[in-house]
Amino acid sequence: MIEFRNEVAGIPVVIRVVENEDDLEGFRDFIRNNLAILGLDTETTGLGIYGEGYGLRLVQFGNYTESWVVPVEYGGRFAEDVRLALNGVQRFVLHNASFDLQVLDRCMGIPMESMWPKVTDTRILAHLVDPRGRDEGGFGHSLEEVTRHYVDPVVADEVKGLMGRLAKEFQTTKEKIWAAVDLTHPDYLLYSGMDPILAMRLHQKLGPLVPDVSRKLVRYEHRIAEVCAVMERTGFLLDVDYTLDLSARLQQVELDYKAKAAVFGCENVNSTDQVADVLEFRGVRIPDRTPTGKRKVDKKLLDRLVAEGDEFATAVKEAKKAAKWRSTWVDGFLKNRDAGDRCHASINALRARTARMSITGIPAQTLPSGDWMIRRCFLADEGQLISSVDYQAQELRVLAALSGDRTMIKAFHEGADLHLLTAQAAFGSHITKDDPERKYAKVVNFGRVYGGGANTVAEQTGLDMERAKIVVDGFDKAYPGVKALSNRLQAEARRNGYIVTPVGRRLPVDRSRAYSALNYLIQSSSRDVTGRALLRLYDAGFGPYLRLPIHDEILASVPAEHAEWGAAEIGRLMAEDMGPVHIGTDPEVGGRSWGSLYGASA
């Protein structure tokens, strides 16, 4: 047996590493003496859980002062004893449990569904204590960041920084070191053995700090994390032939447009200096500068030139677009698919300050809104069809419910045109749905949800400031309840430094940006509408059919013979009444591909 002795916040800790089967008796004694609760962590060959050749190397168990590291990579009795411990211990504490539970599910056959009910995730606790990232004034939510703030900054910097130093020692990357490092390397074992101890210390520190008003969210957020982890495990079937063809087509598009740019004298479309030189040679004035004083050739400038018919700007934009779509998305899908041609997104169920989710791996939230080309890469399972169910004006309906504004509530009850009502309040009752003023009002209606004022309206519509202010004033006139809610929230934010949502989520608001409070409230409350829907769908047995949560939309793969019923039932379960406002849904069934919902033929 190998032993490491260290300190955490001045308290001695010991890490015991099992070397052979004789050492397992001590591990069994440790488990028997700690059946009530233990910290838990895993070490693997990398982050791509579902990739070919992925493996589990170590499993670590620990209390506040002692941990045991078991090399399950050796298999046999080592793996069997870990399996018995996982089934026998009553409660586990992990940081970012979704990752480790998927690892144990895939590599050891321990179903996530059996583990989640007895897990506490300290990352969830940390987010409920302070949802801000470090760049927003919070302490962050990674194990290293939370350890630095709440447990021991020395341990955070020295121990949690070991893998970066090992990557340099082995002359490899941080992504590859997990598989490259020797299983018995002292720094690797120290790093690994410390994690369950830190998880237990964080549980001890963070548990009491969760605001009383937020305590009911602890189990709720764990359940949402479980549903999202199940969606990750299920994955999304990739149409490999189409995706390979799309990659080749995008590469050709990139080459063609690069050749067109070269005709104008630009050999590298990614060189801002070269692009700027050509633009200025062709008489284009570049007024803006970067912080370092260089000419600023950004999307706004290129889009304007493209709209004016500039062939060079079009070549630059299209070449870069094709390159990005291919390298960032399409080739990534091909590279990261599993042996069954499924891609597994990473769903951060509790991401933003407002708790809004984020997705990587399958960029569902960042794809161009009306594009089918990339979405066409993904398919419903064999014998199934793609279904999308999104909410009807989710954020505006949440705004109506929480503000209690009578006009807005009545408009939703009667199916009235909310954008037309705003336009008529601003410009007069003679305005019709075909007038451009309705479009301006639409920008205001959604902009107010995000805290946008006259500047936002002017920027997005091209209106001058005077008319933009008229539209904004029209909104406040039409819906006085919204203005009153915003004023109350700003006062609360200035007084307390935070607001509290109806479900009890505490959202810090910078006092200098108190106007953001309304945006935070609506975005967070809307996220919880979707979160509650996921739980209802999961409890109703729809878990295996769910693919992705995309803000106010849930994507599913449903059996073809029951597709219409399935989509309608998903929509029924997603819908909810928030006070006097019904937040309804629009179920839609497409073809086999996700892209079919956006105009693709298949």
Under a CB-based contact definition with an 8 Å cutoff, are residues 194 and 6 in contact? Answer: yes
Taking the alpha carbons of 201, 206, 209, 213 in that order, is the dihedral positive or negative? negative
Domain 395-523 belongs to what architecture?
Answer: Orthogonal Bundle (1.10)
Entry pTM:
0.94
What is d(CA 431, CA 420) in angstroms, rounded to the nearest whole number?
8
Q: What is the mean pLDDT of residues 458-479?
A: 81
Domain 345-394+526-598 belongs to what architecture?
Answer: 2-Layer Sandwich (3.30)
Asked if residue 500 has pLDDT above 80, the reply is: yes
* Res 439: pLDDT: 82
Task: Please name the residues in contact with 282: beta carbons below 8 A apart, sequence gap of 6 or more.
Answer: 264, 310, 312
What is d(CA 347, CA 228) in angstroms, rounded to the nearest whole number?
6
Q: What is the pLDDT of residues 509-519, one digit of tens each?
A: 999 999 899 99
Q: What is the mean pLDDT of residues 91-104?
A: 98
Task: Please name the residues in contact with 219: beta carbons below 8 A apart, sequence gap of 6 or more.
Answer: none
Under a CB-based contact definition with an 8 Å cutoff, are residues 39 and 63 in contact? Answer: yes
What is d(CA 388, CA 115) in angstroms, rounded to the nearest whole number?
30
Asked if residue 384 has pLDDT above 80, the reply is: yes
* Res 532: pLDDT: 98
What is d(CA 477, CA 554) in angstroms, rounded to the nearest whole number?
35
Under a CB-based contact definition with an 8 Å cutoff, are residues 202 and 151 in contact? Answer: yes
Q: What angle do CA 498, 500, 506 make, to 5 degrees?
A: 65
Q: What is the mean pLDDT of residues 583-591?
A: 97
Asked if residue 508 has pLDDT above 80, the reply is: yes
The amino acid present at 185, given as its one-letter code, is H
pLDDT-wise least confident of 181-185, 191-195, 474-478, 587-591: 474-478
Distances (CA, A) of 343 to 315, 320, 336, 350, 375: 32, 25, 6, 21, 13
Q: Does domain 2-210 sit in CATH 3.30.420.10? A: yes
Which pLDDT band holds residue 466 (cuts at 50, 70, 90)? confident
Q: What is the pLDDT of residues 19-28, one digit of tens each?
A: 999 999 999 9
Q: What is the mean pLDDT of residues 193-210?
A: 98
Pairing relationship of beta strands 342-343 and 66-70 according to DSSP bridges? unpaired
CATH class, domain 238-342, is mainly alpha
Calculate the average pLDDT of the chain: 94
Under a CB-based contact definition with an 8 Å cutoff, are residues 565 and 558 in contact? Answer: no
Q: Tell me the domain boundaries of the chain.
A: 2-210, 238-342, 345-394+526-598, 395-523
DSSP letter assigned to residue 381: P
